[in-house]
Chains A and B, each alone.
Chain A
Amino acid sequence: MKYVDEFRNGELAKNIAAKIAHEALPDRAYRLMEFCGGHTHAISRYGLADLLPPSVRMIHGPGCPVCVLPIGRVDQAIRLAREHDVILCTYADTLRVPASDNLSLMRAKAAGADVRMIYSTQDALQLARDNPTRQVVFLAIGFETTTPPTAVAVQQARATGLKNFSILCNHVLTPAAMHAILAVEGGVSLDGFVGPAHVSTVIGSQPYEPFARDYGKPVVISGFEPLDVMQSILMLVRQINEGRAEVENEFTRAVTREGNRKAQAMVDEAFELRASFEWRGLGTVPYSALKLRPEFAEFDAETRFNVNYVSVPDNKACECAAILRGQKRPQECKIFGTVCTPSNPVGSCMVSSEGACAAHYSYGRFREEN
């Protein structure tokens, strides 16, 4: 697979690892956060932590939209499916998220709710066209990578006068989440960020510049493949050593400073900022999420149907809030691996395979126990 396999070359990875080991100063620690869930997955899946010197530690960030989706939002989707007889479309990732009353979308489906897994918002539109007498609701989640596809669907629905299609909007914003992590009392002990790959494809590298400038933390936007991640870590180590705090772009083959202006414009046309939005694990964050503009209100499932958002608190023993900020590690949570496992996730970090706890449980826990 062109432009994939070449970036998974084990020999080249060793070279970069050697460089990192050589350049990492012996008397200091490098605490690097990879913001994006996809990077967490790549690091875990390829065992990249083994290629790093002990002084370089990767901390998993909150860039997993399934992980930060509050229970109350999943409850909303389940209520729509069960009480309003809609066809509830969702990406596969949300199907198993445990919600209130021992339910999940998958369990609701088993009990008769019409929940359908889709791969693309085009599928949701098609379902609406194929089922004119039924209401079709798309559970829209994701960061800036996934928002443009939703924007396209809503635009097309309006252009074609589709009357039975709406979305439950849970799109969230990366810079706001980074801000929530960094703006912690007393500062935060993170030395740099591995910036998201495909979010940056859409938003460009520019939005990260305030973070580098205001918090003095270097950001390197990294491609998705293991060589990209290794190279980005090397670039971060260099910045830290040289006392620089800049936004650098390793993923030049897909990311520019401006990003994809066309996609941004489409999102801007359909969506506006919510004043505040509750994030699982991070609490309420201002201007961190999107909702449909008034002109598109007919496509907003929250107004079309009467489903209010009811906040549901996390389990008291859950340490996700600290883990998402990199303040604690999964192993330091009392219920990790016992009460809370991928089969029975209690908190947001365990819910998706990219959450810090799930990634560690699935790919890395053998290290502790051996």
Chain B
Amino acid sequence: MSMLKSNYTRALDWKHGLVDMSYGSGGRAMAQLISDLFAAEFDNPYLAQGNDGALLPPAQGRLVMSCDSHVVSPLFFAGGDIGCLSVHGTINDVAMMGAQPLYLAASFILEEGFPLADLKRIVQSMAQAAKEAGVPIVTGDTKVVEQGKGDGVFITTTGIGVAREGITLSGDLAQPGDVILLSGAIGDHGMAVLSQREGLTFDAHIVSDTAALHGLVAAMLDSGAQLRVLRDPTRGGVATTLNEIAQQSGAGMVLQESAIVVNQPVAAACEFLGLDPLYVANEGKLLAVCAPLDAERLLATMRAHPQGRDASIIGEVIEDAHGFVQMVTRMGGRRVVDWLAGEQLPRIC
């Protein structure tokens, strides 16, 4: 009697196993990783086709595509992880174009020695985020690099969507008189990540705001308000995003500091480290520029949506060839909210 079972494959050791070079080499080990982890968790008919590319139905309208790489450290933080971050981030980039996100692709660069337990946790988080958003991950890729050549895992996601009929949103469309709105409190994601990074540890109840915003965007588009620009203030914060838009549009802006919401623990954490919340990353907020007559209606629509509860009008676009973003401080004086020269480092001075 044969003691061998035919086609017996040992299950991957999710508890103690580590990624090794064979998982990226295209052989059986990689195939098993794909089927036992990625395909099992992401689970949708397109991925189930089992080919290198996914065959998708015809698109009903203008296509929007976006791509983002995720290298956040630490990989796991309060409120999220690199997995759901990569799903939300790309969904949001597509949504900011006034499009409905339809499909995602995800590619992984894994470092040799990365724990399979962590990888599974990340993939499950991605699967959940994709499922909640209703946007499946339909294709992907995996590579492994030698130990020391990667920071655990890097994830790149690409998203495809269809732009809503008649809607064109672009950073160069802001006009003097337009109103600027912000969907909620700023700085939570950046400070949540910083508060866990080695060397800057402190106990603070700050949770990343990472979220998929396409539902909020759809509601905003449904309101009929005339939108010019939508953009999510990720790296570099609200300040950077507004400067980008000001520059693209060849206009200036004036903001009201008192209208910008910062949760107290975030403000306090920024005080401790000498950081300005305006430059801290957000992963679940958006900035909108709209025609002045529609501003109140748009605000009401945003506030009625769970992701826009703390939405506020924070300023307006003005005539200014230099494209300065100015702010009226809570003291009543004015300052410029300038571009950052490189990454914002904690200030001691």
Contacts and interface: CB of A to CB of B under 8 A. Distances in A.
Interface in A269-294: none
A1 B271 contact: yes
Q: For the side of the interface on B, what is the size category?
A: 20 to 34
A96 B326 contact: no
A369 B326 CA distance: 13
A65 B258 CA distance: 32
B332 A10 contact: yes
Nearest to B267: A1
Contacts of B273: 119
Interface in A2-41: 4, 8, 10, 13-14, 17, 37-38, 41
A362 interface: yes
B200 A370 contact: no
Contacts of A258: none
Interface stretch (A42-50, A162-170, A203-211, A303-311): A42-50
Contacts of A352: 349
Interface in B184-206: 199-200
Nearest to B328: A47
A13 B332 contact: yes
B338 interface: yes
Given A50-B333, A369-B322, A41 B349 contact: yes
Given A41-B349, A48-B333, A51-B331, A342 B322 contact: no
Contacts, number: 103
Contacts of B333: 46-51
A48 to B, nearest CB: 5
Contacts of B271: 1, 4
A49 B333 CA distance: 7
A14 B335 contact: no
B348 interface: yes
A366 B349 CA distance: 24
A250 interface: no
Contacts of A49: 333
B264 interface: yes
Contacts of A366: 322, 324, 326, 334, 336
Contact of B334 (A37, A50, A91, A341): A50
Interface of B: 199-200, 258, 264, 267-268, 271, 273, 276, 320, 322, 324, 326-336, 338, 341-342, 345-349
